Structure 1
Amino acid sequence: MKDKYSGVIKELSDKELLFHLYLTQIILLTISGILGMILMDSFVEFLRLFQWNDKNILLIGGIAGLAVVILDLFLMRVLPSSYYDDGGLNERIFRNRSVLHIAFIAAVIAFSEELLFRGIIQTHAGLVISSLIFAVVHYRYLFNWFLFSNIVLLSFFIGYLFLLTENLWVTIFMHFIIDFLLGVIIKIKYQNNKQEGMFHE
């Protein structure tokens, strides 16, 4: 199954991968809209999920996001590279993007995923169910026990912060920080490796 998945990824161009990424986010937003209309009593209830005037957005969301990235970078250094093998998908998505495009991708993913998994599902089904669904939706991580464990723990952590702050902007900002910084790091590493390869030729 893993080999079949990797084969499908390799056959897709970078442009096609990006298209599928955005399509997935549109699907998640559509599901959020449908579930929101079914489960929420009013639009006011929906708006209560978002509190702009909250220092926790930067304080908790920002610090938590940075902490996750720092821990990730540390683990990448000390653990075998196979532990972080996702079939090359993340590298394919971020390696040739501009920093601005990476920021846009990270913002779209953070908003759509947090709206559905924390704002809609966790609010109505609880932390455990939303965290497990979040992990399973990240299908490619199912083939790597370390990455899957990682995404489960991260999902519970993000869910707990939402439980604590009751503000979706906190978890959206945290999610954005993680995806944006790791995306930029992937881009820099790829460019450095490419330059080293050209230098040694």
Structure 2
Amino acid sequence: MNTSKYSDRELVWSLYGTQGLLFLLTVGLLFFLHDQPAELGEYFQFDFRELFLFGMLPALVVVAVDLLLTIKLPSHLYDDGGINRQIFRSRSFWHIVFLCLLISFVEELLFRGVVQAHIGLVGASIIFALIHVRYLTKPVLFISVVLMSFMIGLLFWWTDNLLVTMTAHFVIDFVLALYIRYIEKEEHA
């Protein structure tokens, strides 16, 4: 995708639209697949120790590996076409917080709370990776998103806690978005 033909605003609204559609799909699947959609609430358990050990720590390992690869690999192998850069480079800190919370909530609710709960870890992880279509032609990025998806899927499998997967997903997206916004932006200035 050539981002130069889209404004920052258009890309952000596209992101909101995509998350809105995924949320509507989630709600529809919840009513179609669950006898009692309220049973999804069983997957929300606030346990600080679990959130830290299974949410934050694995996410920080993923971020460290991702940043290491970003630094060590040739840039063309890690280039997503500039979409993430264009979305996050001009956003305020609080807008980044909101976007990352929204993305982690919607995607984990769908892929772990609905899809993984019904078709399993492998199916949910593959579908999660495939919706990141812009990475399909970028082997390093695609392998990275597949591995991240399986890792987050395993976290859900081990804990049965969507707050754990949402925490991990949020930390990964948030730290990498801050890197784009504050560090990478300075490097390109």
Instruction: Give the TM-score of the pair, scaled to structure 1.
Output: 0.90
- In structure 1, stretches of 5+ residues that fail to align are 196-201
Deviation at 1:100, TM superposition (A): 1.1
CA distance in 1: counterparts of 2:34 and 2:55, whole angstroms? 25
Deviation at 1:137, TM superposition (A): 0.3
Partner of 1:99: 93
Partner of 2:172: 178
Deviation at 1:191, TM superposition (A): 3.2
Alignment equivalent of 1:113, drawn from 82, 94, 107 = 107
Deviation at 1:132, TM superposition (A): 0.6
Distance 1:111 1:117, change over 3 A: same
Partner of 2:130: 136
Partner of 2:14: 20
CA distance in 1: counterparts of 2:107 and 2:5, whole angstroms? 26
Identity %: 44
Count of paired positions: 189
Partner of 1:188: 182
Partner of 1:199: none
Deviation at 1:40, TM superposition (A): 1.1
- RMSD, aligned α-carbons: 1.2
- Aligned structure 1 segments of 4 or more residues deviating by more than 6 angstroms: none
Matches within 5 A, 1:145-164: 145-164=139-158
- In structure 2, stretches of 5+ residues that fail to align are none
Q: Are 2:63 and 1:69 aligned?
A: yes
Deviation at 1:193, TM superposition (A): 3.1
CA distance in 2: counterparts of 1:12 and 1:148, whole angstroms? 23
Partner of 1:86: 80
Q: Whose radius of gyration is greater, 1 or 2?
A: 1
CA distance in 2: counterparts of 1:174 and 1:186, whole angstroms? 18
Partner of 2:33: 39
Partner of 1:168: 162
CA distance in 1: counterparts of 2:158 and 2:105, whole angstroms? 19
What code does the residue aligned with 2:140 have? F
